[in-house]
Chains A and B, each alone.
Chain A
Amino acid sequence: MVFSAQHQALGPQLAGAGTCRPRRPAASSSSVISASLHESGLSSQQTLSRKPLHWIRKKTLALSSVSAVAAAAGGGFLFHLASGTPPPGNPGGGGGWGWGSGGGGDGGGFWSHIFSPLSAIAEEDQTAAGGGQEWDSHGLPANIVVQLNKLSGFKKYKISEIFFFDRRKCTTVSGTEDSFFEMVSLRQGGVYTKAQLLKELETLASCGMFEKVDLEGKTKPDGSLSLTVSFTESTWQSADSFRCINVGLLPQSKQVEMDSDMTDREKLQYFRSQEKDYKRRIERSRPCLLPIPVQREVLQMLRAQGKLSARLLQRIRDKVQKWYQDEGYACAQVVNFGNLNTREIVCEVVEGDITNLDIKFQDKLGNICEGNTQLGVIRRELPKQLRQGHVFNIEAGKQALRNINSLALFSNIEVNPRPDEKNEGGIIVEIKLKELEQRSSDVSTEWSIVPGHNGRPTLASIQPGGTVTFEHRNIKGLNRSIHGSVASSNILNPQDDLAFKLEYVHPYLDGLYNPKNRTFRASCFNSRKLSPVFTGGSVVEEVPPMWVDRVGFKANVTESFTQQSKLTYGLVLEEITTRDETNTICTHGTRPLPSGALSMDGPPTTLSGTGIDRMAFVQANITRDNTKFVNGAIVGERNVFQLDQGLGIGSKFPFFNRHQLSVTRFFQLSAVKEGAGKPPPPVLVVHGRYGGCVGDLPGYDAFTLGGPYSVRGYNMGELGACRNILELATELRFPVLNTHMYAFAEHGTDLGSSKDVKGNPTEFFRKVGHGSSYGVGVKLGLVRMEYAVDHNASTGAMFFRFGERF
């Protein structure tokens, strides 16, 4: 007593949809993962602002959510739904369709089916009807019961109420409260024609949930109709075991047309063969992902309720489907319940097996075009769960999206699972990419008004400034890029402050298909920074600023171990010039004397003593970072070791080993449930940093103590400039409303090494050489607002800082 798996797919046809819809609602659901990237045309660098990921659920998905259980009655077999006409003389389901009572409930393979009873057309009709359009009064006396076929075919009826009447229980429930409500496409307040109502009835009857179903209207005084769906639920004998199988990609069993004039013997044979087919089908199916605890829960549901009713199947389906949806298997769908009327019911699930991965490029107009990017570049960013043979999971899709987005090559990325037409139950993961323009350049200009000699701006003091940038990205489709920028705040006199940078990036150094991820970078750069070494301690009056200009060339190789952990090593050649505020090269630090004069004999700024140092050294950095976000709070550990090894090449043959090790741990203090909107856990941060230098140490490279990233509550370099440094900090973060507050205590010391810096800048600028601070703060978006007490002076002050301390 079997029937074929075919028919659920035909449901829509029965419903009169007639359109070419995918066979399974599950497969027809399609989620589009897309991220749009703006290309900011004005900005010089590639400022790619990422829109929040959003998920577009197509209408088809919404439809699939109202799919229903079609159940076969104990009668025995089901007819091919394509017939479209209820088989005559069906004893099992009076008003229904689709099933016969061949074997008389001998416990053979009885099937029920799930499909979407709602057609797209019905949906469209309804939306069309929803728009407050006109309707006709029924033109009948109020409060009389009208059979559906008594209604006029020319009128548009407004359905003001829908009730469900369970004939077995003899209860009437208002429409929206009944679990069968989802089966009905009619909505309260909608306007329908008689044909539509009839079609609806047909759909309901064909869905298999009901042994018998009928629609009747009741006229209302205001001219609208109150509709009552009276039904008898289908039931089967109770089952005590539950099995879930993955039927995705299984070929549909061949449907042998059952002839209406088969003999009983032939029929029996037919059913037997169907049964055997089904057994083979179960054997061939793959185990599904549904975990045993969930299966156990389903089993409990089965046991709790003696008889297996359509509603129970519906609940089981919802439960199973909910688990899949919650776990991100967006394409998973319960397609069928089989083996009904036996001890073990079989839940057939199409989980969404990926049959193909399709990467497409789009031009600006959205047409498919040839891409410049080599596919390997994209493929290596994709998690292997998106490859053929894996079950599609939306999280894998999201990860692919994030990874591809981090390439910064595309303005629009869509990861889109779509049903595979050629392969029943298969999913093709389609990745659509819009490439960014390969070459871009940009010029921006600005006027700046600097105060003239009287402090008043004059015409001559208006300076034109500007930035020129250019970028050539994705060279050869291998994500290599050249990026350059030149900026000056005074174009008329650019030698004053010409900032430039030219960088070449060469990823996949070990080949596109090598899992080793090394990137080569080479850059020419210059930078200008205020030195925190040559600044005053807390008691010294204004110390004239000292600028450290660096011009040089850098080449390094970065090897990424994980997203965050990496190793970088390379060579730096640079020329360092120290200048005072008038832009002249200076050789020694200066400090105002109490008399007002400047003491010019401070510590030497450079190694060479001339104010200009040239040197070559090897730079290496290894970062271990396993931090992750728990509801927005960072938890984990971060260790960074940085090394500058002088090679003895340069002015005065600098040979040195300058090293820093920082260890930061973020302890989660209480376990929290993860999820959006849940509060972050309190976190204890412990941080230690050691820095030291052996060998030649020019003044500008001395380690400095104090500042928002060293010891808070002090100015940059206020505590000292030294050869060895030790910083210890701890911070306790606890969530408050939507942000967090924190309390911290920090200490920094020069370990007595200030005297080992030539000229002893710590002493010259009268810095203490060590200091502690403590305070409290609150995070307001990107800004940290904190009150820090400087322990040396025991005074507190309010600070606003950007970014994180750790």
Chain B
Amino acid sequence: MASPAAREWLGIQSLPGATQTKLHELLSKLKQENVSTVTILVMGKGGVGKSSTVNSILGERVASVSAFQSEGLRPMMFSRTRAGFTLNIVDTPGLVEGGYVNEQALDIIKRFLLNKTIDVLLYVDRLDSYRVDNLDRLVIKSITDSFGKEIWKRGLLVLTHAQVSPPDGLDYADFYARRSEALLKFIRLGARIKKQEFQDSAVPVVLAENSGRCKTNDSGEKVLPDGTAWIPNLVKEITDVILNGSSPITVDQKLIDGPNPNDQGKFFIPLILAFQYFFVAKWIKRAIKNDIKNESKPLWELRDMGLANREF
């Protein structure tokens, strides 16, 4: 699928001025590092606010969002340029269907991303759901299986619906800490990253609030309950991830197919065969010989062979 020609990023103008300034700062920082194109992959379960987040970042209503139904059945890529800098955001359909990971959707996403480079993965989930379950792990696992463990070095955990009133007895910071900790743990488990390794390159957590009722600060920026403007914060984290030294993920045919298990260990087959012959087969043969030797013969046969010594 040929990506549509990148359009001028007009939506940025609709963002509050303070945000625009910060974004420009970040973009120029990227440019200084010779990064002129950034591709952001947005993934997550259905209905967590992936498309809304995309809309918020771009400041345009590019992905249709409906309150009751997830619309996106196929991945969409939105490309915007601004001052020689290209921003690609790939919005994907929800990965869960019928209580299971939708392999088909994942497959479509993989095909869509063929020959593209992913700079940042935004793994989106809601802040205001309290529980993490096995399904989260499966989703994370299938993302890992598709793009490899390395993708999490370029990953960002985005928690939407940040403007939540935490359950009784918990203050906001506490709730946020617990929620993000639980999710990060599942990312670690699902991606099968070693604890140590995970601590070294932690997946950053960013909060987002896409609702129109989001509080704004004096300059009209959408702010989180703690007062930070989240869009610039998100973009800043994205920039940090891009610049953290890990290499972007290039999706090619090999990555999509995964390693061919049929080729694993082929080299060792002669060795395995030798082992089987000399140890397993010989061992069984020896056991058979032993059986023949130790076979308890009926008395009449023993007597006939003269082994009875007239004792029985």
- Give A contacts to B, CB under 8 Å: 287, 289-293, 327-329, 383, 385, 390-391, 393, 395-396, 561-562, 565, 567, 593-594, 599, 601, 607, 620, 622, 624, 626, 639, 641, 643, 645, 655-657, 659, 661, 694-697, 723, 755-758, 763-764, 766
CB contacts (< 8 Å) of A758 on chain B: these are: 260-262
Complex A-B, nearest 5 residue pairs according to Cβ-Cβ distance, in ascending order: A756-B261, A626-B291, A393-B300, A594-B98, A694-B265
Does the CB pair A622–B100 fall under 8 Å?
A: no
Residues of B within 8 A of A562 (CB): 288, 291-292, 295
**CB neighbours of B310 from chain A (8 A):** 287, 289-292
B298 contacts partner chain A, Cβ-Cβ < 8 Å:
yes
B273 in contact (CB, < 8 A): yes
**In the assembled complex, how far is the CB of residue A370 from the closest CB belonging to chain B, in whole angstroms?**
32
Q: B residues engaging A (CB < 8 A)?
A: 97-98, 100, 103-104, 107, 145, 260-262, 264-266, 268-269, 272-273, 276, 280-281, 284-285, 287-289, 291-292, 295, 298-301, 303-304, 308, 310-312
Residue contact B103 to A395, C-beta cutoff 8 Å? no
Q: List 12 A-B contacts (CB under 8 A).
A: A287-B310, A289-B308, A291-B311, A391-B303, A396-B304, A561-B288, A567-B285, A624-B287, A641-B280, A659-B272, A661-B280, A697-B262
**B299:A757 contact, CB within 8 angstroms:** no
| Distance (whole angstroms) from the CB of B53 to the closest CB of chain A | 27
Q: Considering the complex, give the chain A residue whose CB is closest to the CB of B285.
A: A622
**Contact across chains for A289 and B276 when beta carbons are under 8 A apart:** no
Contacts of A645 in B (CB 8 A): 269, 273
Q: How far is the CA of A565 from the CA of B273 in the complex (A)?
A: 22
Contact yes or no, B261 A565, CB < 8 A:
no
Pair B308/A694 contact, Cβ less than 8 Å: no
Number of A-B contacts (CB under 8 A): 107
Are B97's CB and A594's CB within 8 A? Answer: yes
Secondary structure at chain B's binding surface: helix, strand, loop or mixed? helix
Distance to closest chain A CB from B272 (angstroms):
5
Q: How far is the CA of A327 from the CA of B272 in the complex (A)?
A: 51
- Known contacts being A289-B303, A594-B98, is A763 close to B284, with CB within 8 Å? no
- Measured CB to CB, the nearest residue on chain B to A287 is B310
Q: Considering the chains assembled together, what is the distance between the CA atoms of A205 and B233 in angstroms?
A: 129
Residues of A near B287 (CB, < 8 A) are 624, 639
Contacts of A290 in B (CB 8 A): 310
Knowing A291-B312, A695-B265, A758-B260, the reply to whether A395 touches B300 (Cβ < 8 A) is yes
Check A622 against B97 for contact (C-beta < 8 Å).
no
A694 B285 Cβ-Cβ under 8 A: no
Residues of A within 8 A of B100 (CB): 766
Assess whether A697 is in contact with B261, with CB atoms less than 8 Å apart. Answer: yes
- Give the residues in chain A near B107, CB-CB below 8 Å: 601
Contact across chains for A624 and B97 when beta carbons are under 8 A apart: no
Docked CA distance A659–B284 (Å)? 15
B292 (CB) vs chain A CBs: closest residue: A562
| Contact partners of B311 in chain A: CB under 8 A | 291-293
CB–CB A657/B300 < 8 A: no
The residues of A that contact B265 with a CB separation of less than 8 Å are: 694-695
Q: Note all chain B residues with C-beta closer than 8 A to A593.
A: 104
Please report the C-alpha to C-alpha distance between residue A328 and residue B304 in the assembled complex, in whole angstroms. 12
A624-B287, A661-B280 given; 18 more Cβ-contact pairs under 8 Å? A290-B310, A291-B308, A292-B310, A327-B299, A328-B300, A395-B300, A562-B295, A593-B104, A594-B98, A607-B262, A643-B276, A656-B269, A657-B269, A659-B272, A694-B268, A757-B261, A758-B262, A766-B100
A542 to chain B, nearest CB (A): 15
B-side contacts of A697, CB under 8 Å: 261-262
Candidates B103, B284, B295, B312; contact of A622 at CB < 8 Å: B284
Please indicate the chain A residues that have their CB under 8 angstroms from the CB of B98 in the complex: 594
Which of B261, B273, B288, B291 is close to A755, meaning CB atoms less than 8 Å apart? Answer: B261
CB-contact partner of A694 in B104, B269, B291, B304, under 8 A:
B269
Measured CB to CB, the nearest residue on chain B to A566 is: B288
- Chain B contacts for A641, CB-based, 8 A: 276, 280-281, 284
CB neighbours of A661 from chain B (8 A): 280
Chain B residue at smallest Cβ distance from A327? B300
Rounded to whole Å, the gap between the CB of A718 and the closest CB of chain B is 16
Per the bound structure, the CA–CA distance linking A755 and B192 in Å amounts to 14
B167 CB to nearest chain A CB (Å): 32
With a 10 A CB-CB cut-off, give which of A329, A622, A659, A661 has the most chain B CB atoms. A622
**Bound Cα distance A626, B269 (Å):** 31
In the complex, are the beta carbons of B298 and A565 less than 8 A apart? no
Contacts of A607 in B (CB 8 A): 262
Instruction: Tell me, rounded to whole Å, the shortest Cβ–Cβ distance linking B152 to chain A.
Output: 18
Instruction: Name the B residues within 8 Å of A655 (CB-CB).
Output: 266, 269
**Complex: how many Å from CA A143 to CA B311?**
57
Closest to A645 in B: B273
Residue of B nearest to A390 (CB): B304
A395 to B300, CA, bound (A): 8
Contact B288 A624 (CB under 8 A): yes
Q: Which of chain A's residues have a CB closer than 8 A to the CB of B266?
A: 655-656, 694-696
B residues near A763, Cβ cutoff 8 Å: 103
Q: Give the CA-CA distance A395 to B299 in the complex, in Å.
A: 10
Tell whether A695 pairs with B291 under 8 Å between CB atoms, given A291-B311, A327-B300, A390-B304: no
Shortest CB-to-CB span from A603 to chain B, Å, is 11
Chain A residues contacting B304 (CB-CB under 8 Å) are 385, 390-391, 393, 396
